[in-house]
Amino acid sequence: MKVLTVYAHHDPRSFCHSVLDRFTAGLADAGHKSEVVDLHAIKFDPVFKARDAASYIDAEIPSSVLAEMDLRQQVMDSSRGPLQRWLARRALRDKTPPEIAALIRRHMPKDARAQQKKVAGADGLAFIAPVHFCNFPAIMRGWIERVFTYGFAYGLNEAAWHGDVNGRQPLLHHKRALIMTSTLFDKAAYDAGVRDAMDAVIDEWTFRYPGIERVDHVYFYTATTAPPKTIKNYLAQAYELGRNFANPGPPDTP
């Protein structure tokens, strides 16, 4: 398999980096092709800006919704100065709403498009990060918002555009996503409800929603202050998670 690992931690001496090292070593020893996106190393910009609006416009949006969006007027309103407005009118001349949507989408940010290409080329995905406020750190959350976009990770039918949660159209093809997160608090805290909340937001809505066949989430509890023996066991587990990525065993027992 070709596995893309998205990693988020600023410190190369961190426990998470050690997990990354052991996990990718396990992948290599199992014969998998591995690529790592180190979000801090590439200085990925996680902030969703006006430029990213194009990533959520797509020609496949239902025609009635495109009509409500009035993309032609949106383009004209965003044009600055007489020359840009003249160029915009010329570019939009005689174009249908789907054609205007396709034109807008071609202007989506190059960095997000490059990350989408990496995702599309992988058979499986892995994510390694510490827990921040019961979620991924901002840089990884921003990566998801800017990369797992409409028309790439998922679509919506007309009912969904009008509020029906069952109207999603999953577009991702990956066989598996594996999430590895280090925590400050112990397993008892997660058993009391924290894990359920994170599983709903991260596992279900971020990865199963767009169609990934299998999603597993491994928590390295209290890694911040764990004794050396526990850390050693965690890193051995990370290696096995890589080595057995294609054959993980029953769900919930990775």
pLDDT tens string 130-146: 999 999 999 999 999 99
The whole-chain average pLDDT of the chain stands at 94
Q: Residue 154 CA to chain centroid, in angstroms?
A: 12
Confirm or reject CATH 3.40.50.360 for domain 2-46+121-243, answering yes or no: yes
Provide the whole-model pTM: 0.93
Enter the tokens of residue 227.
């004794």
Per the model's pLDDT, the better-predicted residue between 29 and 252 turns out to be 29
Q: What tens digit of pLDDT does each residue of 162-192 get? A: 999 999 999 999 999 999 999 999 999 999 9
CA angle centred on 89, ends 88 and 90, rounded to 5°: 90
Q: Which of 217, 218, 219, 236 has its CA nearest to residue 228?
A: 236
Q: What tens digit of pLDDT does each residue of 233-248 get? A: 999 999 999 999 998 9
Domain ranges (residues) in the chain: 2-46+121-243, 51-105
DSSP string across 25-56: HHHHHTT-EEEEEETTTTT------GGGGGGG
Question: What's the confidence (pLDDT) of residue 252?
Answer: 59
Q: Is the pLDDT of residue 253 over 60?
A: no
Question: What's the confidence (pLDDT) of residue 254?
Answer: 43
Q: What tens digit of pLDDT does each residue of 66-116 get? A: 999 999 998 998 888 899 889 889 999 999 999 999 999 999 999 999 999
Q: Report the percentage of the chain scoring pLDDT > 70.
A: 99
